[in-house]
Structures are given as C-alpha cells and as structure tokens.
Structure 1
Amino acid sequence: MTSKAGRHGIFAGVSLALFVASPAWSRETIGIFASWGAFSDPAPLRCYAIAQPVQSGGSSRWRPFASVADWPGQGARNQLHLRLSRARDPRARVTLSIGERRFELVAGDADAWAPDARADAAIVAAIRSGRSMSVETLAKSGGPFADVYALGGAATAIDAAALACVRR
C-alpha cells in the first residue's frame, strides 16, 4: 500500500512550463511528448508523466494537471493523480472518462486519484489507447465542470518516466 504522501499531493499547483523552467529544483526533464512531459525527482525518487488540460472547468488559484507517477521506494507504479481546476462539492462524485470507459475516483477538495492499484492499471491502459480524457464533478457552488486532456504523447511520456526510474 502506498502512503498518502506518495499517492496524494505530488504536484500541487504546478504546471508543465514551470517544470521545464525550474533549474533551481533538482527535477530532471526526461522529455516533452506532445502535450505531456516526463520528469524525475531524486528525493524521494519519483518519475512521472504530467500534462495540463486543454480545456478546464474554470479559473482557480492553482493550475490543474493530470499525472501518472512511479515511486520505486514505495513499490508504486502508474499512480494517477488529478488536480482539478476548481474546488469540488465534497458530496459530489468525481468521474474520469476515457473513450467509452468510466472510472469513479476518490477525491479530496481539489484532487482526485484512482481508488487502488487495479484501477490505476485500468486507467493507464485506457489512457494508452485513448485520444482524450475528461474528469467531471460538481463545483462547491453546485455547478458541473470538466477538465479535458489530450492524450497524444501520454503513453510515450508514461513509458519514458517509468524507464527513468528503472535506470536509477
């Protein structure tokens, strides 16, 4: 089982551009693949693919993202983490749609994750064959919103991140 620190709160409020433009951090850029980037951090060792939505459900104080991460020290692979574009109604479900597949996620105030490793694996398999994905829920104000991601380059970024962690 992965700790909450590993599964939750990995990339709070950051963007793909910020990752690339941050030489002061010890983050290593593995590559940029279409709208997805692959990166690694040394301590704790984690490697991840990350993207910003092509369409978001609203403006917020933070930047939404989708990421798939490997945490070798915790034995975790392909963990999905979504930062929503808005704070959600705590009673609302969060649904990830990829093609015809639907996944119910567990969620905090503005973050969502797969409920377990089996769901992570199914989601990553769907990402690999999909063209786009959307995460949908209700905002605190009660209105529905969705964040939409293009999946071109996602499979390559996920693979590049995984390989970077294997090599360390």
Structure 2
Amino acid sequence: MIVAAALLLAGERVALGVWQRWAALRDSTPTRCFAIAQPLDDAGVTDRRGAFARIAVRRGPERAPAVFFRLSAPAAPGDSITLTIGERRFALSARDDRAFAADATTQRAIVGAIRGARWMTVTVANPGGGQRVDRYPLAGAPTAIDAAQLGCR
C-alpha cells in the first residue's frame, strides 16, 4: 500500500484495467486518462513497430475526446491518411509519425463509430500508389474508453 502511494506521488502511470487488446491508463502528474491499444500485424499478433491508438479524456468545458495515432512509419508530405471504422471514413492530419483528427466534432464522431464497430484501420497512402495499414481490433475499446472517463472524473 505504501509502495502504491509512493508510485502515485512520483507521477507514475497506473493501469485502470485491460479489456481484450485495449487498456485504460491514468497518469497522475499531470492528471490525464486514456484508452490505448497497439495494432495487429497480418498474422493477428501485436505489431511491434511502435504504432498505437490513444483516446484521451479531456477536462474542461469542451470535454471532447482527443483521438491520436502513432503510425508504424512516418507519413511523407503528400501522403493521405484515412481512418476507417466499419463503414465510416475519416481523413486524418499527420505530422511525421503522428496522426490526429482535425477538430472536436470529428473526434466525437470517431469515438461514436468505435463504439459500434469491430475493427478500425489507419491507412497511409502515398501519391505513387503504395500504402501502409495499421489494423486495430475494437473489442474492449468502448469499455476502456469508459474506464478512462471514470478514472479522471
């Protein structure tokens, strides 16, 4: 118990729970909570190239979620990044190996789509026709998002 309290005071990250391939985490300094997952590779195992999807809980009057993706490789100028969730498609903005939704309305729509789908993919397409895809299973994502929201009330 004392060790746990010391870790919290030191600004450690605490797991709020894990559901399927999604986790909810809480950072104590500064206080922030988020749901996070890594993509799967073509064989269905965790892709270890460093990519992840994160849905952070925001405080304050807006309270829109912050949807963020670390890509498996940097996007180049001219590449287009598309997030596909079920039948819905969202254009993402990118800087190097980071991709994100342009505004709060889109971020809310993404979280709503996540709640009703089984998979999401982030596709980076270059003008020459090549593409890279990061695939995320969504089983457990709604529960992890809810846990993050409750963890930072």
TM-score (structure 1 length as normaliser): 0.76
User: Post-superposition shift, 1:141?
Assistant: 9.0
Structure 2: segments with no counterpart, 5+ residues: 1-6
1:136 match? 123
What is the percentage of aligned positions where both structures have the same residue? 44
Query: Aligned equivalents of 1:144 and 1:25: distance in 2?
Result: 39
Aligned AA (1:129): G
Alignment deviations for residues 136-159 of structure 1 (CA, whole Å, 9 cap, x no partner): 013699731100000000000000
The CA RMSD over aligned residues, in Å, is 2.7
Larger Rg: 2
Matched, 1:109 2:85: no
Indicate if the aligned counterparts of 2:80 and 2:126 stay in contact, CA closer than 8 A: no
Matched, 1:92 2:79: yes
- How many residue pairs were aligned? 142
Aligned AA (2:136): Y
- With over 3 angstroms needed to count, the CA separation of the structure-2 counterparts of 1:138 and 1:38, relative to structure 1, is same
Matched, 1:79 2:66: yes
Query: Aligned equivalents of 1:69 and 1:26: distance in 2?
Result: 17
Query: Aligned equivalents of 1:121 and 1:41: distance in 2?
Result: 22
Matched, 1:36 2:33: no
TM-score (structure 2 length as normaliser): 0.83
User: Post-superposition shift, 1:90?
Assistant: 1.6
User: Post-superposition shift, 1:106?
Assistant: 1.0
2:13 match? 27
